[in-house]
Structure 1
Amino acid sequence: MCTSFVLHKDKPYIGMNFDISKRPIKIALVGDDQLIISQKEGGRFLPAFGLNKNGTFMNLQIVDPNEEGKYRRGKNCVHIMRLFDEVLSGKVATAELPSYLQEKEVVNVPEYSVHSLIAAPNNKSYIVEPGRQYLDADSIKNDFMVLTNFSVADNLSSDLETIDGPGSERYKIVYSKIQNNVDDFSVEKGLTVLREACQFDGNYPTQLSLIFSPEENSVYFTLNGDFDKKFRFSFLENKITTISGFEKESDVVLTKKGILLSELEQF
């Protein structure tokens, strides 16, 4: 089901809990500047979220479908997987997204309904919901944005306490925690926020939790809700390294082939 956020303050921080049923999940390097996390479904790996060396992040989180957001073809239609590729590859600059989203109708791919948090440098962050209005950081009127599994656009007039829908409890937890620490945030506080929103039971346990610090060119992450064991991926070295909680230090250079989370669990 997933939870994500972006905080734009003195330093940007982007956080993500990847909540999904047990299955192969892979972290891979695309080119030398994109980190893509994919999950295996129907015999193939499908992108779930990604980020790049320039500090841009985009994910694909489940949301209730609406008629306007269903897959269709049209001159001005672009499906969200294409948008995912164009944003992370830099084909569409995040600063140009407002005009792009006004010209294009973003729709889902067949049989899926997702929405996306797109987080980028210089406070250029957006929530894109196929068939619904897109939101930018200015329209939210906060230094941060949070996304779970209900439509944010449909709840703009709701107070935090009255927000309802899939993932609303996780949304409230993360929103409140960030709001209370907005002036003194850090990687560690970001991981604490994600730990509070972890899911351990049900059909969608948390498989991967990460904080992206663009200023450090680094991603800090944990597996299966175990926040005692922390990894770091560095774009400077293209390497995953164990940084705390392990009996011995280990590292692996990341390639386009990628590495499964199950392999990292053996470190």
Structure 2
Amino acid sequence: MCTRFVYRGDNIITGFNFDIDIVEWNHKVINTKDCFYIGIMRPDGMRHSYHGVNRNGNVGTLLYVHGNLSGTYQDSKDCITIADLVEKFIQAEVSFDDALQILKERKIVYAADATMQAMLSDKHGRTLVVEPGIGWREDEGRYSLITNYSILAPESTRPFVVPEDDRYEKASKMLNIYGNHFTVNNAFSILQAVCQEGIWATRVSFVYSAEENAVYYVQNNNFSQIGKYEF
């Protein structure tokens, strides 16, 4: 259960809540010269960057979604997994324009062991919503927002909406309040409003300011202690 948004005002600001079951997913916040990311331990023994920021302004995040058969994993040169695409974007192995070309030329599928959708954005606020088996779109407007249900084909995941899960509606209502001026603190107020508790609690929340080229983050819903990482 995660929440991600991009706000295009006088500063390009992106926010992300990382909600997971820590029994299932071993994670660690990692800072390198070129990247800030939430490292997820995978069966290959490496911590992969499926949620993070590159110093060039690329921001990529995966979000769980109830899968569809059309997005099923395929081991084919004509396909790329959503996880691989997002990681390559975060590591700046592909640019925003590269990602666009990949989406036009190759089929995007789920990883072999997880069904995820994604949001990719750059320092200019250009944003892609990518849903394996359904499609993709380049977003425009004041903001982009995604949680764990399909944006492109809402009816496909409507039967799986968790009762009382109003994160999307709550975040959208708050994002609609702001005009051209939107701050890091505004972003955190939204993330805090939709943060989760319990087994699938929010483990990491981060906000990226393109103007500052810096990431602000908190862990375990401790919004009174905000860390900062500047590239």
What is the TM-score when the length of structure 1 is the normalising length?
0.77
Give 1:1-267 correspondences, 5 Å limit.
1-22=1-22, 24-30=26-32, 32-40=33-41, 44=45, 45-138=47-140, 142-155=141-154, 165-166=161-162, 169-201=166-198, 203-235=199-231
- The code of the aligned residue for 2:21 comes to S
Q: Report % sequence identity.
A: 25
List per-residue Cα deviations over 1:122-169 (Å, max 9, x = no partner).
Answer: 23211111111102113xxx221111100111139xxxxx99835951
TM-aligned CA distance change 1:86 to 1:41, over 3 Å: closer
| Alpha-carbon separation, structure 2, partners of 1:52 and 1:18 | 17
TM-aligned CA distance change 1:21 to 1:69, over 3 Å: same
Any gaps of 5 or more consecutive residues in structure 2? none
Q: Which structure is higher in RCO with an 8 Å CA cutoff and minimum separation 6? A: 2
List per-residue Cα deviations over 1:232-265 (Å, max 9, x = no partner).
Answer: 1111xxxxxxxxxxxxxxxxxxxxxxxxxxxxxx
| Alpha-carbon separation, structure 2, partners of 1:136 and 1:89 | 21
Deviates more, 1:119-128 or 1:187-196: 119-128
SS of 1:188's equivalent? helix
| Alpha-carbon separation, structure 2, partners of 1:77 and 1:43 | 21
- The code of the aligned residue for 1:172 comes to E
Any gaps of 5 or more consecutive residues in structure 1? 157-161, 236-267
List per-residue Cα deviations over 1:199-248 (Å, max 9, x = no partner).
Answer: 123x200111111112112111112112111111111xxxxxxxxxxxxx
Q: How many aligned positions are there?
A: 225
TM-aligned CA distance change 1:101 to 1:42, over 3 Å: closer
| Contact 1:198–1:205 (Cα < 8 Å) also in 2 | yes
TM-aligned CA distance change 1:43 to 1:20, over 3 Å: farther
- The code of the aligned residue for 1:200 comes to E
Q: Which has the larger radius of gyration?
A: 1
| Contact 1:17–1:208 (Cα < 8 Å) also in 2 | yes
| Contact 1:62–1:115 (Cα < 8 Å) also in 2 | yes
| Alpha-carbon separation, structure 2, partners of 1:26 and 1:101 | 30
RMSD: 2.3
SS of 1:180's equivalent? coil
| Contact 2:48–2:87 (Cα < 8 Å) also in 1 | no
TM-aligned CA distance change 1:204 to 1:217, over 3 Å: same
| Alpha-carbon separation, structure 2, partners of 1:2 and 1:134 | 19
| Contact 1:78–1:107 (Cα < 8 Å) also in 2 | yes
The Cα of 1:104 is off from its aligned counterpart by 0.8
| Alpha-carbon separation, structure 1, partners of 2:40 and 2:92 | 23
| Alpha-carbon separation, structure 2, partners of 1:164 and 1:184 | 35
What is the TM-score when the length of structure 2 is the normalising length?
0.89
| Alpha-carbon separation, structure 2, partners of 1:163 and 1:49 | 27
- The code of the aligned residue for 2:209 comes to S
- The code of the aligned residue for 1:205 comes to A
TM-aligned CA distance change 1:42 to 1:95, over 3 Å: closer
| Alpha-carbon separation, structure 1, partners of 2:12 and 2:73 | 33
- The code of the aligned residue for 2:205 comes to S
The Cα of 1:21 is off from its aligned counterpart by 1.6
| Alpha-carbon separation, structure 1, partners of 2:185 and 2:55 | 21
